[in-house]
Amino acid sequence: MNTRVNKHIALITGVTGQDGSFLSEFLLDKGYDVHGIIRRSSVDFRQRIAHLEGRPHFHLHYGDITDSMAVLQIVSKVQPTEIYNLAAQSHVQVSFDAPEYTANADATGVLRILEAVRQCGLTATCRIYQASTSELYGKVEQVPQNEQTPFHPYSPYAVAKLYGYWIVREYREAYGMYCCSGILFNHESERRGETFVTRKITLAAARIAQGKQDCLYLGNLSSLRDWGYARDYVECMWLILQQDKADDFVVATGEQHSVREFCQRAFRHAGIELEFRGEGADETGICIGVSGNADPRLVGRTLVEVSPDFYRPTDVVNLWGDPTKARRLLGWNPQRTSFDELIRIMVDHDMAEVAADDAAARVRTNLAEYLEKGIVK
């Protein structure tokens, strides 16, 4: 039997990721002590949480979800009342190149967290959220997808996440643990990794509009997704752990769009009107008009091309979530940020980022020139 305690101590694995950074902000604002697990790296990878470091209730611990000893040690030291297991090799395409590592992190990693809580004697006081995914529906057998829809995982990533989903259910039933899966559909933001399709598009739209890139190469333009805003989704993760009874929830907007449509709208927001012509690998996006500060010489140019390099051995092409249960039982609003608003947030951010990079590059160039001329020493 899991009882609610008055202390609010959260442990977040994957704290440096898109969701981990938003969730940390959300929980700190709620008065939690937030502990995050970070990996040692030779380069700086903490941009998303840099603004939180040094805050009194924010603590970081070195560890890795593939390392049982480290996980056990951290859980034992932190004595969390809530664990959010967000750590994962989260890129579907990469999972085809690194299937074993993906299984270790995304499947066995979940088991390590559950076992650490058990071994530390925290089953009665600690609740666990598992970052599950709409990729479980994979080669979809029903549209839209809800908590009853059969799973048909369609990548090494999805197969690993399916193990995570089932081991969470097993520990809930076998040991009465309060552990839940949030079956989250794609959620994006200005902090999204740059190789996921939405961020790749918004960055390219900004660069092309500012004359910094010639063309964007994409894979399957017809793929359909239910895209929401990550900042809204972390609230739902928290709500899932505040219920009387542990349960699993689909988290989605209930709206579906294609990659092509995302592309068209993002470019439009950057001042570029695109028209798609052709089919399959021959499809192209051509500029048919510009507005704002976008360069008029772009008109008539091909700005988007398909590259089969971005095709996947098996691709999930029809994700569309039904968030009825989350809306009804958690009181969560799936439509807080609209699709257009999400695109606006991302493109505005990337337009500013590309312009700032430009300004920084100009300062560097000027500095080099000044140094050369001896103007500054």
Does 89 sit near ligand NAP (CB under 6 A)?
Answer: yes
Burial 205-215 (b: 16+ CB within 10 A, else e): bbbbbbeeeee
Give 251's Cβ-side CA count (13 Å radius).
Answer: 31
Q: CB count, 10 Å around CB of 309?
A: 9
Q: Tell me, yes or no, if 217 is annotated catalytic.
A: no
Does 319 sit near ligand GDD (CB under 6 A)?
Answer: yes
197's tokens: 């399709």
Which residues in 10-69 contact ligand GDD (CB under 6 A)? Answer: none
Minimum Å gap between C-beta 56 and ligand GDD is 32
Q: Tell me, yes or no, if 157 is annotated catalytic.
A: yes
Q: Cis ω on the peptide bond leading into residue 150 (within 30° of 0)?
A: no
| Cβ partners under 8 Å of residue 211, min gap 6 | 295
> What stretches of 66-118 adopt beta strand conformation (E)?
82-85
Does 93 sit near ligand NAP (CB under 6 A)?
Answer: no
CB 225 within 8 A of CB 257: yes
CB 320 within 8 A of CB 306: no
Does 254 sit near ligand GDD (CB under 6 A)?
Answer: no
Q: Tell me, yes or no, if 135 is annotated catalytic.
A: yes
Q: Which stretch binds ligand NAP (CB under 6 A): 58-66, 76-84, 289-297, 363-371?
A: 58-66
Among 11, 14, 116, 263, binds ligand NAP (CB under 6 A): 14
Does 250 sit near ligand GDD (CB under 6 A)?
Answer: no
347's tokens: 């493109």
Give 267's Cβ-side CA count (13 Å radius).
Answer: 28
Cβ proximity to ligand NAP, 81 vs 133, nearer residue: 133
Partners of residue 131 on adjacent β-strands: 182
Does 175 sit near ligand NAP (CB under 6 A)?
Answer: no
Does 92 sit near ligand GDD (CB under 6 A)?
Answer: yes
Q: Which amino acid is at 253?
A: T
Does 133 sit near ligand GDD (CB under 6 A)?
Answer: yes
Residue 219 contacts which entry, ligand GDD, ligand NAP, none (Cβ below 5-8 A, type-dependent): ligand GDD
Does 321 sit near ligand NAP (CB under 6 A)?
Answer: no
Binding mask 201-240 for ligand NAP (x = CB under 6 A): ----------------------------------------
Identify which of 14, 248, 76 has the alpha carbon closest to the alpha carbon of residue 147: 248
Q: Which stretch binds ligand NAP (CB under 6 A): 186-194, 201-209, 255-263, 330-338?
A: 186-194
Residue 89 contacts which entry, ligand NAP, ligand GDD, none (Cβ below 5-8 A, type-dependent): ligand NAP
C-alpha span between 99 and 95 (Å, rounded): 5
Partners of residue 33 on adjacent β-strands: 9
Provide the terminal-to-terminal Cα distance of the chain, rounded to the nearest Å.
Answer: 69
Q: Which residues bind ligand NAP (CB under 6 A)?
A: 13-20, 37, 39, 45, 64-66, 86-90, 105, 131, 133, 184, 186-187, 193
Catalytic residues: 133, 135, 157
Q: Which residues bind ligand GDD (CB under 6 A)?
A: 90, 92-93, 133-135, 185-186, 195-197, 200, 218-220, 223, 225, 259, 310, 312, 315-317, 319
